[in-house]
């Protein structure tokens, strides 16, 4: 029953629209825009570059856990990157079973979990901007959703 209530509560939270004011519609973003939003919303972060030279944020979630924020899909005909991905990995020495990960993915939306090469769980979530979004509202919902599912995963699967 507790699992059902958590599922319903999470579904209700994730279904709520962003409470941020509506801004201009954008189809991409860049590191300075995201950095400004993160700073304005109280996140601790540092900016780096990934192996392909794209922006990469090392981000501390409000729960205290660390995550990475990747930028993808830079179209030369349009400004900015068209998608973002939040990523967090856990070191469990391979103690999480694939069946557990599959069951979690079956029960939850807005993030996927998989086992990496060392059989440690990884949680990811993607945000597609290419169809046009209010960036401030989209980032608000994106981070809130990720933090919500991240905390449920850490609690239910890892017992943290």
What is the residue-averaged pLDDT of the chain?
Answer: 87
- Neighbouring-strand partners of residue 125: 86
Q: Is the pLDDT of residue 1 over 70?
A: no
pLDDT per position as a tens digit, 47-59: 999 999 999 999 9
Of the pLDDT bands very low, low, confident and very high (cuts 50, 70, 90), residue 11 is low
| pLDDT value of residue 156 | 87
Angstrom distances, CA of residue 143 to CA of 74, 103, 150, 158: 21, 23, 10, 21
- Provide CB contacts within 8 A for 59, sequence distance 6+: 38, 43, 44, 45, 66, 67, 68, 69, 86
Of the pLDDT bands very low, low, confident and very high (cuts 50, 70, 90), residue 8 is very low
Distance CA 121, CA 132 (A): 32
For tokens 């349009």, what's the residue?
Answer: 78
pLDDT per position as a tens digit, 59-73: 999 989 999 999 999
- Provide CB contacts within 8 A for 35, sequence distance 6+: 45, 47, 57
| pLDDT value of residue 45 | 98
Averaged over 21-44, what is the pLDDT?
92
Which domains occur in the chain, in start order? 2-156 (3.30.1460.10)
Of the pLDDT bands very low, low, confident and very high (cuts 50, 70, 90), residue 76 is confident
Averaged over 125-153, what is the pLDDT?
95
Angstrom distances, CA of residue 55 to CA of 33, 38, 93, 137: 12, 14, 30, 21
Cβ burial, residue 51 (10 Å; 0-12/13-18/19+)? exposed
- Are 56 and 48 in contact by the 8 Å Cβ rule? The answer is yes
How far is Cα of residue 147 from the mean position of the Cα atoms in its chain?
Answer: 7
Averaged over 82-104, what is the pLDDT?
94
């Amino acid at each position: 029953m507790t699992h059902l209530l958590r599922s319903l509560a999470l579904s209700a939270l994730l279904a709520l629209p962003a409470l941020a004011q509506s801004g201009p519609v954008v189809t991409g973003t860049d590191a300075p825009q995201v950095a400004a939003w993160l700073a304005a919303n109280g996140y601790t972060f540092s900016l780096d570059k990934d192996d392909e030279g794209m922006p990469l944020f090392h981000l501390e979630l409000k729960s205290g856990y660390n995550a990475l924020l990747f930028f993808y899909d830079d179209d030369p005909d349009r400004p900015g990157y068209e998608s973002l991905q939040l990523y967090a990995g856990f070191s469990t020495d391979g103690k999480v079973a694939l069946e557990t990960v599959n069951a979690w993915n079956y029960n939850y939306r807005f993030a996927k979990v998989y086992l990496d090469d060392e059989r440690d769980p990884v949680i990811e979530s993607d945000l597609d901007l290419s169809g046009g979004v209010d960036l401030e509202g989209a980032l608000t919902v994106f981070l809130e959703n990720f933090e919500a599912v991240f905390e449920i995963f850490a609690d239910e699967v890892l017992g943290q």
